[in-house]
Homo-oligomer: A and B are copies of this chain.
Amino acid sequence: MGQFSLIGKDIPRNDARAKATGTAIYTDDIKLPGMLYGKILRSPIPHARILNIDVSKALALPGVKCVVTGQDTPKIKYGNWRLFPATQDEYPLAVDKVRFVGDEVAAVAAVDPDTAQEAIDLIQVEYEELPAVFDIESAMKKGAPILHDECPNNVSVTRKIEYGDIRKAFAKADYVRQDTFRVHAVSHAYMEPCSCVAACDLDGRITLWTSTQTPYIIQCLLASTLGMRENDIRVIKPYVGGGFGGKMELRPWEFCAAFMAKKTGRPVKFTLTREEELIAGRRRHPMKLISKVGFKKDGTLVAKDLKIILDGGAYNSMGPTATFLCGNFGAMLYRYPNYRFFGQHVYTNKPPAGAMRGFGAPQSLFAAETQMNMAAEELGIDPIELRIKNAMRPGDKIPDVATVSSCGFIESLEAVAKMSGWKRKRKTLKPGEGIGVACYSFISGGVFNWFNTQYPFSAAEVRVFPDGTAHLLTMASDIGQGSDTVLKQILAEELGLKMEDIRITSADTAITPQADLGTWGSRVTLMAGNAVVDAARKIKEKLFGAISARFNLNVIYDMECKDGRVYAKGRPDRGLSFAEAVAMAQKAQRGEPLVARGYYTPRGKGLVTPAFSFGAQVAHVAVDKETGSVQVKKMWTAHDCGTVINPMAVEGQLQGSVHMGLGYALCEQFVMDKGKTLNDTFLDYKIPSALDMPPGESVCIETYETEGPMGAKEAGEGLVIPTAPAIAEAVYHATGYRCKDLPITPEKILKGMKK
């Protein structure tokens, strides 16, 4: 690994200057000739039948060019689980019924946003209000109001995992405990609200610029809802100001923009307001988790029985995946010889929950890690030691589900203990201060193919030129996480080029190679990275061939591309500059340019992911005993993301994760009243500010993941997981208040301390 030229270096982000100078074009910056502005009418009622919609006044308003309701549309349901059409439960615009406050009922396109909004206000909807349910318990009661006729008990998805013998194992356990945890909904709070612009050309083809994590998924689902062919839709991802899982599905405004562009022949733009985002945007799943664990006296885990009920809101959205994943995450981190999981996804009349950074793991592992800390205390074992005792190690398997290949978990625990001065601080902190630990494991992309793509999971095209440059084309989507930079780094490393030698074109479904499933599940570095490596190696074979012929080399010679040259390994004189080598290889194919496509699809890697990351985090807090307010004084993190491709980028992911974890732990929550979100601005929805950020120290435990490009695996989402349980444990350590229902508010602490 010492031989890397660019891997492991702090390479500034590809998009840094454009963003810093304000020249980066986000979707809302796009202005097309004749463009119309769209607005959406949303339901003010959590559950109702639509009796009538009168759009005549809206249509009569000067400047209004188009008004559509669900009745005007082809009425085709969509959802990301194409493999199971029954899970596709959402119309772009409500047909017959609305199911949450904010549900999309109608849309307008007008010459300016104010006119569009005025027209929205002129649409008259006659509703027949229906009884509504706002929590899982009510929704699961017999006789509860039913949201979807096809789902008469409001449970839309169930999932079971079981291996070993739970009953026998618990019977033999020395120590068994069962706890119930509740976690809440939070917002992705990406800085850029959702925005899209659709244009329809004279052949009827649609081009959609949209702020999305998943251009290919949008292309497919938009095509199906419009009744069009996939490749008559082109989706282009401009610069994106964050997604965090909230922009990976087709959304009503994307459909409406395309549908109305087709109807009017004029481009249509939608940009959501923050209020709309907070009222009706996707959220992290609230869950109720009932976890039972059993140990031997010496701390050895023997069994776990986990039941999770997910509050999905009004539609499935990404709930089926969440239901699947939270059960998998429940079995991760430690060796559970006997494990059972039962998950249920439940409809309620609230905004749908979707994917959000960590997806299933922040919830599942808040419970698991808190419970681990509780058990450690009762067993009288140091929480870090208890974890090391049970930690997963390289080669561990979860039957039928996953294999752990590289695993630096124990090293992470040891490192974080050392860095934080754990042993000493656990005993010697001032009153009102506390220290706590929590850990995570996360996936490097999903193996599951519920989207039912017929393409490889990731693809890359590499073109090299006799001027010494290369062009990388990939449908992978940089949404701010830095994948364009990382993929360029991987290509530059493989070809021995400099970053500035590489042009990148990404995330345009008509131009970049089919396909890429998008940015989610921390899949991009590993999957798109592997596709880039595959393409680069095909190019190298041609270059090596040309050099071998030119220097008449013995076939046993190994060759390399490095420092802008192509040469026999160990014989740098027998070689040419990269540019010359390309020219020669091109001559060898009578002028045809050197172009190669690379692909990656995980195979033989179980059901979950090709590779797992691991990490541990220690939080040090000070709690004001008068007010109950928590100050996080410092965070220490040690994590294993395989080969670190770009340390600066990984550090950015860590800082962002701590920030997001902080909000999840302490202050972010939706205040709801009968399905209506009351805090719909950033004044009232409290995300931590920069000043709330604790100082931190971190270390990467480098392992080499054989399935990853250059040994890399995920570094983007897992880090968001341990912050909340680590803080919760630190608060307990400081105050004796044990949080089992996030967030950890001052009120709860004060109340808990009094006990």
Whether A456 touches B229, Cβ cut-off 8 Å, given contacts A202-B23, A203-B500, A511-B505, is no
CB pair A469 B231 closer than 8 Å: yes
Rounded to whole Å, the gap between the CB of A478 and the closest CB of chain B is 15
What residue in chain B is nearest A469 (Cβ atoms)?
B231
Stretch at the interface among A369-377, A547-555, A568-576, A585-593: A585-593
Whether A455 touches B593, Cβ cut-off 8 Å, given contacts A21-B202, A23-B202, is yes
A465 CB–B CB distance under 8 Å: yes
* Bound complex: CA A229 to CA B468 (Å): 8
A503 CB–B CB distance under 8 Å: yes
* Bound complex: CA A208 to CA B455 (Å): 34
* Bound complex: CA A599 to CA B511 (Å): 19
A118 CB–B CB distance under 8 Å: no
Count the copies.
2
CB pair B231 A467 closer than 8 Å: yes
* Bound complex: CA A207 to CA B477 (Å): 22
* Bound complex: CA A192 to CA B441 (Å): 62
A128 CB–B CB distance under 8 Å: no
What 1/0 mask marks residues of chain A from 217 to 252 whose CB sits below 8 Å from any chain B CB?
A: 000000100000111100000000000000000000
A679 CB–B CB distance under 8 Å: no
Rounded to whole Å, the gap between the CB of A710 and the closest CB of chain B is 23
CB pair A503 B205 closer than 8 Å: yes
Main secondary structure of the interface of A (DSSP, over half): loop
Chain B contacts of A597 at CB under 8 A? 592, 595
CB pair B591 A599 closer than 8 Å: yes
CB pair B586 A454 closer than 8 Å: yes
* Bound complex: CA A595 to CA B592 (Å): 15
Q: Which residues of A from 12 to 42 have beta carbons under 8 Å from B? A: 17-18, 21, 23, 29, 33
Q: Which residues of A from 441 to 482 have beta carbons under 8 Å from B? A: 453-456, 459, 463, 465-469, 471
What residue in chain B is nearest A453 (Cβ atoms)?
B591
Q: Which residues of A from 588 to 618 have beta carbons under 8 Å from B? A: 590-593, 595, 597, 599, 601
Chain B contacts of A735 at CB under 8 A? none
A583 CB–B CB distance under 8 Å: yes
* Bound complex: CA A583 to CA B230 (Å): 13
* Bound complex: CA A755 to CA B60 (Å): 77
Give the size range of A's interface with the partner.
35 or more
CB pair A229 B467 closer than 8 Å: yes
A510 CB–B CB distance under 8 Å: yes
Chain B contacts of A319 at CB under 8 A? none
Chain B contacts of A33 at CB under 8 A? 23, 29
Whether A503 touches B513, Cβ cut-off 8 Å, given contacts A229-B469, A455-B593, A465-B231, is no
Chain B contacts of A601 at CB under 8 A? 590-591
* Bound complex: CA A593 to CA B461 (Å): 12
Rounded to whole Å, the gap between the CB of A269 and the closest CB of chain B is 16
Chain B contacts of A467 at CB under 8 A? 223, 229-232
A115 CB–B CB distance under 8 Å: no
* Bound complex: CA A454 to CA B587 (Å): 8
What residue in chain B is nearest A601 (Cβ atoms)?
B591
* Bound complex: CA A131 to CA B249 (Å): 73
CB pair A456 B503 closer than 8 Å: no
A514 CB–B CB distance under 8 Å: yes
Whether A202 touches B454, Cβ cut-off 8 Å, given contacts A230-B465, A465-B231, A514-B593, is no
Whether A593 touches B513, Cβ cut-off 8 Å, given contacts A229-B469, A231-B503, is yes
* Bound complex: CA A708 to CA B515 (Å): 35
CB pair B514 A510 closer than 8 Å: no
Chain B contacts of A201 at CB under 8 A? 18
* Bound complex: CA A23 to CA B265 (Å): 10
Chain B contacts of A463 at CB under 8 A? 514
* Bound complex: CA A231 to CA B578 (Å): 15
Rounded to whole Å, the gap between the CB of A226 and the closest CB of chain B is 13
Rounded to whole Å, the gap between the CB of A80 and the closest CB of chain B is 19
CB pair B466 A454 closer than 8 Å: yes
Q: Which residues of A from 484 to 523 have beta carbons under 8 Å from B? A: 500, 503, 505, 510-511, 513-515
Rounded to whole Å, the gap between the CB of A579 and the closest CB of chain B is 9
Q: Which residues of A contact B (CB under 8 A)?
A: 17-18, 21, 23, 29, 33, 201-203, 205, 223, 229-232, 453-456, 459, 463, 465-469, 471, 500, 503, 505, 510-511, 513-515, 583, 586-587, 590-593, 595, 597, 599, 601
- Pick 5 A–B contacts, CB within 8 A, sort by A: A229-B467, A456-B592, A459-B593, A591-B599, A595-B597
